[in-house]
Amino acid sequence: MRRRVHLVGIGGAGLSAIARVLHERGEQVTGSDQAVSAYSQALEASGIPVSYGHRAENVAGADLVVASSAVPMQNPEVQAAERSGIPVLRRNAFLGELTAGSKTIAIAGTHGKTTTTGLIAWLLASAGLDPTFIVGGILEDFQTNARAGKGPHFVIEADEYDRAFLALHPSIGVITSVEHDHPDCYPTPADFRQAFEIFASQVSELLLVCLDDPGSAALTSATAGRQTYGLHPEADWRAEEIRANAAGGLDFLVLRRGELLGLARTRLAGVHNVVNSLAALAAAEAAGVSFAEGRRALTEFHGTARRFQEVGEVGGVRVIDDYAHHPTEIRATLAAARQRYPEAEIWAVFQPHTYSRTRALLEGFAASFGDAHHVIVTEVFASRETPDPAVSGRLIVERMMHPDVQFIPGLADAAESVIHRLRPPAVVLTLSAGDANEVGARVLARLQSKAGGMQDGA
């Protein structure tokens, strides 16, 4: 008899992925959320019932309730389940059950984990290993963020928020970077580092760490075999001779412990994605994928939604959306834009994400926009936090030493400012883990409208 699993907060990236895996494994899945999202709509299209608004009756008849980290214990569905004796688990507690019996490959890190997870899932799938996977974004090549495969491997993005990744005991672990983030969960850098030390100690077979990143390289608690990757000359997996290619990405030579394996090619922009590709090739090899198979698959990987995603192009103006919401991510994304579009003026529209992160990383944000010609900072996207009147995007702008930076709180006004000042060739790059991709959509719609009007007039 199938269980009925009800997920509270099913419209988010994390729980929607769990819902899809459970559904494809044959479980009866239902869920609820406050509002419609692209993730919830995709689940409904797959036959998973989703209720909008949280009500006690939604959990009636459930065998298990899984709640998002963002859902408070006072939620009416959580309380109703507890009154009825229905087990209630947080997402992090459920991950251990979800991955049990699989050969888990878990990818953790402050930056790069979504792309690296997607790459590993793609390399294994292309080699015929049919992995189960959960990724924190929509993979362009699969058109989903999760899938239940028939093979032995479970490739999962190991989210450090709320220490969720500590529920995992992977066979293969990848740590891309360890740089302080989520100050609402980890008040100090030492707290953050300690969680990664615990994660590293739970990897049973192979731990891959990025030697370019000081925080990752300094981890000492690994009990499994350890390999390194990156551009560092002492890395076990290393890239050399990095050059731009016609696909908009980069070609590079791959060396493993000094042995030249061959030329690899990625469509993804930015040297940081060369490093992510090295991690994927190394993890895939440990899972049984040869370098030749991995290299072929790497060439065909098209990336993840909201990770340097080209939304459209009109009249020499490209609109790109990226999830970057940490200073290091912003610098890497802007460097990739400069590398791919050297002749274009770069417009960076940044929406700070959460008050706690904005306060903790204020100076880092202010120093992150050197590769942009024009910068607009909007008001903070609160996400799960209560508004803090003492913290604003204005604080970032006041600390910036940039020739053209503006604080424009509203997204509609930010879009209007960009539209009136754009001169092609240009790239409009929205940097946001919230809803500032709306700015790019508005800019693109206006450009398309103007182009259509000119054609009609002609």
User: Where in the sequence numbering do the catalytic residues fall?
Assistant: 113-114, 157
| Cα–Cα distance, 258 to 293 (Å, whole number) | 20
Which residue in 153, 119, 151 sits closest to 135, CA to CA? 119
| Cα–Cα distance, 346 to 349 (Å, whole number) | 10
Which residue in 405, 404, 450 sits closest to 424, CA to CA? 450
Which residues is 342 bridged to in the sheet? none
How many CA atoms does the CB half-sphere of 289 hold within 13 Å?
28
Output the CA angle 29-32-37, nearest 5 degrees. 105
Beta-sheet strand order (sheet of 374-377) = 309-314, 317-322, 426-431, 345-350, 374-377, 405-407
Sequence-distant (6+) residues with CB within 8 A of 276 are 112, 115, 116, 119, 176, 268
Which residues is 154 bridged to in the sheet? 104, 132
Longest dimension (CA), the chain: 70
| Cα–Cα distance, 455 to 458 (Å, whole number) | 5
| Cα–Cα distance, 98 to 106 (Å, whole number) | 13
| Cis previous bond, 327, omega within 30 | no
Which residue in 253, 255, 257, 224 sits closest to 106, CA to CA? 224
CA torsion, ordered 406, 407, 410, 416, to nearest 10 deg: -10
